[in-house]
Structure 1
Amino acid sequence: MAQSESNQVKRELKTRHLSMIALGGSIGTGLFVASGSAIATAGPGGAIAAYVGIGLMVFFLMTSLGEMATYVPVSGSFSEYASRFVDPAFGFALGWNYWFNWAITVAVDVSTTAIVMHFWLPDVPGWLISMGFLALIFVINIISVKSFGETEYWLSLVKIVTVLVFLVVGLLTIVGIMGGNGPIGLKNYTTGAAPFVGGLPATLAVFVVAGFSFQGTELIGITAGESATPETSIPKAIKQVFWRILLFYILSIAIIAAIIPYTSPNLLGASVDQVAISPFTLVFDRIGLAGAASVMNAVILTSVLSSANSGMYASTRMLWAMGGSGFAPRVFQKTNNRGIPVAALLLTTLVGAFTFLTSIMGPHVYQLLVAASGLTGFLAWLGIAVSHFRFRRFREARTRSE
């Protein structure tokens, strides 16, 4: 549907923004925290196999999405592709599912900031911290799309630098240059039932954890409509992101498994509110890095903010796109003179404020939000795959007719 100039978004995102958005979207608490439980559950071999499997699946997903995003570079791409190549009803369902996915993720993330900040500010009410961070994310997204892109770029850079430092430190520890205990080698890969602990069922269980960790890579499809040069920047970003993600995840897990035995109770107990036993913290502690817990807590905080920032952007752009296609009230299609869909942003922020219920009703609400976010994310991936299948049939039919 044609849109008036007042309803257009701005093409201000550059290739460097797109690369960091997709890369940073998948490097977060899933790597910094949940990777420990993956190793404890399936052992070194099972964890690596699961993450490689999901990584390959994400590669096919990204190339599928990239092909559609290059051919039809629109903001809120999933809903548009599903409507155009499958069925309008499918586009309606996929669009609202994806909006709900990231709107709930924003709620989960701002709740998590309260948990993380409790490490430094144990006496400050959690709802107050959550409200402050929600306001910060709102301000970043209402200024301009460039403001979002720059913020995401620098937040992602912090995470990437942390992983790179970890990889270097970990490799030096394994060969005995750091740590003071001589070479470690790969002896933990054959400890007990390793490398594959629990057999196929355990490895399949880790597939779910790995899938949650990789969710967010599809964000690059949402950015296509605001990319300055989507026909070149989207394919370039996708090619770069896949190898970097696979390298970061697989090498990180391999190093953790080599240094910390899968039998360590700290790996299974790692969680956001127990940063002192994050697998990254355990490795840094082993070499005597002072303040390892504080450093990792700060990195986890940037990860959560990055996820919330991306979630706010993705959900508002999806709602804006659905407003233009008639799948949502027309008011959500309207943008201000900076190309920001203000009504969509306000609604998403209000849904994010739902996070305050987690402070009032206890941890069960938080766990429910996490589960809902994960499920809707997998449904979005399935929708992208179905849309691409129909897209290729459309292209083939068009080629034959020409």
Structure 2
Amino acid sequence: MTTRPPVSTLDQATATDSAPEGSGLRAGLKDRHLSMIAIGGVIGAGLFVGSGSGIAAAGPGILISYALVGALVVLVMRMLGEMAAANPTSGSFSAYADRALGRWAGFTIGWLYWFFWVVVLAVEATAGAKILTGWIPGVPQWGWALIVMVVLTATNLGSVGSYGEFEFWFAGIKVVAIAAFIVVGGLAVFGLLPGSDHPATGLSNLTGHGGFLPHGPGAILTGILMVVFSFMGSEIVTLAAGETENPRAAVTKATNSVIWRIAVFYLGSILVVVSLLRWDDPAILKDGSYVAALNSIGIPHAGQIMNAIVLTSVLSCLNSGLYTASRMAFSLGRRSDAPAPFARTTGRGVPRTAILASVVFGFVAVAFNYLWPDTVFQFLLNSSGAIALFVWLVICFSQLRMRRIIQRETPDKLVVRMWLYPYLTWATIAMITFVLCYMLTDTADGGGRDQVVLSTLVALGVVGVALLRDRLRRSRAHDAVTPS
């Protein structure tokens, strides 16, 4: 039996730029950086782009879909916050799974999560390139994708502070934009917006035009499948916390604020959309829900305004995706689950090799998106589609065991506690499992069934590699202690 290394903490690392190469990550993120990462990390471009399809499928009942998924994220983040506050580490849930469930679990979920974000890099780079090509058509779309990736790679290679500064402003723009949308749209709903000719509909659109659930209660589940992946990214704050001066306090603050962040930014903004517009308004699908809402209250150039906000969200997601993938690769390297160079850092505490390796695979995925969008890249999308739910499941199972380990070894560090443990943990596991099973009923090409099946096959392949590595490691250890 092999001995698993303890989950290492980064809060004891010295925050100096003159440290020798390979000395580890540095605490280069400020409190304001982490606060904005926590607020903006839960707001993806999917909220702006994908919400229209959910509204068309579920009507005003999409609010219940968002609320249910939001509650799921709150519970998962509470569990992750409990473990991260006790043991802040760059590997976050992968390191906790390593200790709680076994080396195979930490290896598997770490590499799956890395794979997920590498594919996201390609998706977001392409999305950003499309917007930029529309503004400046002289540069080809692949050229914009290349420029965006190079710029953000350079940012991440500079220092963790550079990443934090970029993310602070990217996330800040998203937060200000949504807050302004909620205020302006809310005034228009009740006819209080000066200069707007939008009728004062109040909340009548929530119950008119076929009722709150025009397609029946089953549409809520359909809506869940459409919105669940727009919440991916909430866990980034627990990876980033390890590079702050006081990671335990940062994780505690971020975990405690996740409820109001989801309530305001997701539920609040979607409530404004479905109150301003009929759920079956053709403009919701044609122009996008937020653009259609802005157009309805007479905001000039609404499409270009929203394109600018979506571009900011895309750049934010790219920036965070590269950061997250590199830190997960760094953590895997530290635990000997990735090539040793991944665990090396520069004198400024930057895991250069992990960043470059991640971005190289990101570039390859971008190339696949342009060369074989309907075959190779579609396979990559489908095979990473359910990984978010796998990550959440692993967090749940890890917390079940880590709670007992923390209580036994360092009970004073249990500053964040999962509510109603272990009952809510098991309830969350049941909810995630139900969503995965329900996805199997979505038989559309590239739909839920394809995502679950292909993601499961990829996961099983990685598990197989992990178990084989463990067997070889045990065999070598046995040979080392056995007399010849």
TM-score tier by shorter-chain length is over 0.9
Q: 1:161-213: per-residue Cα shift (whole Å, max 9, x none)? A: 11011011111111112321431112212223221132233111111222111
Shift of the 348–84 alpha-carbon distance from structure 1 to 2, 3 Å rule, reads: same
- Equivalent in 331, 336, 339 of residue 326 of structure 1: 336
Aligned to 2:188: 173
- Equivalent in 306, 309, 314 of residue 299 of structure 1: 309
Aligned to 2:51: 35
| Larger CA deviation: 213-222 vs 19-28 | 19-28
Aligned to 1:273: none
Work out the CA distance in 2 between the residues paired with 1:399 and 1:115: 50
Deviation at 1:395, TM superposition (A): 3.1
Shift of the 305–399 alpha-carbon distance from structure 1 to 2, 3 Å rule, reads: closer
Deviation at 1:396, TM superposition (A): 4.2
Aligned to 1:393: 404
Aligned to 1:25: 41
Aligned to 2:258: 241
Pairing 1:125-144 to 2, within 5 Å after superposition: 125-144=140-159
TM-score normalized by structure 1?
0.92
TM-score normalized by structure 2?
0.77
Give the letter aligned to residue 111 of structure 1.
Answer: T
Give the letter aligned to residue 379 of structure 1.
Answer: F
Work out the CA distance in 2 between the residues paired with 1:5 and 1:366: 37
Secondary structure (helix, strand or coil) at the match of 1:198 reads coil
Contact 1:30 1:209 in 2 (8 A): no
Superposition RMSD in Å = 2.0
Tell me the percent identity. Answer: 38
Work out the CA distance in 1 between the residues paired with 2:281 and 2:376: 30
- Equivalent in 286, 291, 306 of residue 281 of structure 1: 291
Tell me, yes or no, if structure 1 residue 97 matches structure 2 residue 112.
Answer: yes
Pairing 1:334-349 to 2, within 5 Å after superposition: 334-349=344-359
Contact 2:345 2:351 in 1 (8 A): yes
Larger Cα Rg: Structure 1 or Structure 2?
2
Q: How many positions carry a matched residue from both structures? A: 392
Shift of the 84–121 alpha-carbon distance from structure 1 to 2, 3 Å rule, reads: same
Give the letter aligned to residue 100 of structure 1.
Answer: F
Unpaired segments of 5 or more residues in structure 1? Answer: 270-276
Give the letter aligned to residue 359 of structure 1.
Answer: Y
Contact 1:49 1:203 in 2 (8 A): yes
Tell me, yes or no, if structure 1 residue 15 matches structure 2 residue 26.
Answer: no
Deviation at 1:296, TM superposition (A): 0.7
Give the letter aligned to residue 110 of structure 2.
Answer: G
Deviation at 1:367, TM superposition (A): 4.5
Aligned to 1:229: 246
Give the letter aligned to residue 91 of structure 1.
Answer: G
Contact 1:61 1:381 in 2 (8 A): yes
Deviation at 1:241, TM superposition (A): 3.3
Work out the CA distance in 2 between the residues paired with 1:399 and 1:103: 35
Unpaired segments of 5 or more residues in structure 2? Answer: 11-19, 412-484
Larger relative CO (CA 8 A, sep 6+): 1 or 2? Answer: 1
| Larger CA deviation: 117-126 vs 353-362 | 117-126
| Larger CA deviation: 326-335 vs 113-122 | 113-122
Contact 1:334 1:342 in 2 (8 A): yes
Deviation at 1:391, TM superposition (A): 0.6
Work out the CA distance in 2 between the residues paired with 1:398 and 1:197: 53
